[in-house]
Structure 1
């Protein structure tokens, strides 16, 4: 019995060290994706699909999946669940940490690109998304929405005369977005929903080889339904924070 307990304790320590090491790798990958992938979130191009940076980030989790699947398959769900929670929490902490510098400005295109890729991650990794990861994702979406609204409002104040709403597929409207357009949270969410409806399914198909390992137990998801469930909350959270005069509160993160 003592020997069994010793092996059990050793296994827990090995698991803890492995998860910690991979969490550090994922934090580095998340930082590269959000801050060092070459995109300026405050002057982003129109959304065309999933960027290579998003696929590269996903590959970090693909590598973990391959290692754990080969050596400790019963622990796969637990390990990936912890790491995905850490990934979303890392996104949230990076957004808050760099809100006054690298992420101080997010325009309509930047907002739509980031929200689209977050939805892509949520869809691909849905089998391993925990309730805590979902809660963190909603906090992240709400915080990014708040920054985008603030950025666009500031642009309107400094660039008068640009008051058109953004609409999908209008190049001159995208130009207006970059110069500063007066939009509401609902406008931005509606625009992101259009991108999701038009592009998500084709992007899932295009990158299916990259994410094949995660699809084994994932049921088919309809982009519109997935979008509606994940994106309604930030709008409500944002409006709630506006009426109360307090910023969106992020869920306390575990260390």
Structure 2
């Protein structure tokens, strides 16, 4: 299935080819461009299926989203001793933010299998980050405090999400709107509803300006 290969390539580029050193990641400032590009991959697939065979949209996207999460999980396991030999607190928080970003936007297409794979991936990331922070503590002779516990890592990730997720959904709201078009809004997560409302508001405002300009142009043309 060409679409599945397309999604796998996007997942590989996102997780392995972004050039980020996960053991020395910078502070989290938002969703990275590779994450947005991965969403663009799914937006393209969504458009193709919607145009070609809309009745199969939910089934097809469900299969592809589950495949995406499975791919991310398998890629991490395959490269946990190379690309992900170390995963510091910033790297962990970055990945957790982006996974929640994906889950929020793609919520309607998350199968039970995708949810289970996501939980497994989140658990493995936490385990790797805890192990890496412990190793960093042991290697740092100047370190005076204790290691970062799993609960502290989870709290850091939750703080990043609460501070950044909503603004990132709004910043990239065109992706959210694309996936919300074919889904009843009342069933969406609250963060998606807010981002979608923001998107619709900006679109309506733009359309109003455009229509106003058309009206002025039309009046001037016939004078």
Sort the TM-score into its range (normalised by shorter chain): 0.7 to 0.9
Cross-structure match for 2:87: 106
Cα distance change, pair 54–163 in 1 and its aligned pair in 2 (3 A): farther
Task: Decide whether the 8 Å contact of 1:162 with 1:182 is kept in 2.
Answer: no
The 5 Å alignment of 1:133-152 reads: 133-152=114-133
CA deviation digits over 1:175-206, x for unaligned, max 9?
xxxxxx71011000001111111111111111
Cross-structure match for 1:8: none
Task: Decide whether the 8 Å contact of 2:108 with 2:188 is kept in 1.
Answer: no
Residue range with higher mean Cα deviation, 206-215 or 113-122 = 206-215
Cross-structure match for 2:70: 89
For the residue of structure 2 that corresponds to 1:211, the secondary structure is helix
Cα distance change, pair 163–142 in 1 and its aligned pair in 2 (3 A): farther
How many angstroms apart in 1 are the aligned matches of 2:141 and 2:159?
Answer: 27
For the residue of structure 2 that corresponds to 1:212, the secondary structure is helix
Of residues 10, 13, 22, the one that matches 1:32 is 13
How many angstroms apart in 1 are the aligned matches of 2:116 and 2:34?
Answer: 24
Higher relative helix content? 2
Of the two, which has the highest radius of gyration?
A: 2
Question: Structure 2: where are the runs of 5+ without partners?
Answer: 192-223
Cross-structure match for 2:176: 211
Cross-structure match for 1:55: 36
Q: Which runs of 4+ in 1 moved over 6 A?
A: none
How many angstroms apart in 2 are the aligned matches of 1:81 and 1:161?
Answer: 49
Cross-structure match for 2:58: 77
Cα distance change, pair 132–105 in 1 and its aligned pair in 2 (3 A): same
Matched, 1:158 2:123: no
For the residue of structure 2 that corresponds to 1:42, the secondary structure is helix
Question: What TM-score, normalized to structure 1?
Answer: 0.71
CA deviation digits over 1:95-150, x for unaligned, max 9?
11001111111000000000000000000000111111000000000011111111
Matched, 1:128 2:109: yes
How many angstroms apart in 2 are the aligned matches of 1:222 and 1:192?
Answer: 19
Matched, 1:201 2:182: no
Matched, 1:41 2:41: no
For the residue of structure 2 that corresponds to 1:137, the secondary structure is helix
Cross-structure match for 1:176: none
In angstroms, what is the RMSD of aligned CA positions?
1.3
How many angstroms apart in 2 are the aligned matches of 1:131 and 1:87?
Answer: 14
How many angstroms apart in 1 are the aligned matches of 2:12 and 2:188?
Answer: 30
How many angstroms apart in 1 are the aligned matches of 2:177 and 2:38?
Answer: 15
Task: Decide whether the 8 Å contact of 2:22 with 2:86 is kept in 1.
Answer: yes
Task: Decide whether the 8 Å contact of 1:88 with 1:133 is kept in 2.
Answer: yes
Cross-structure match for 2:3: 22
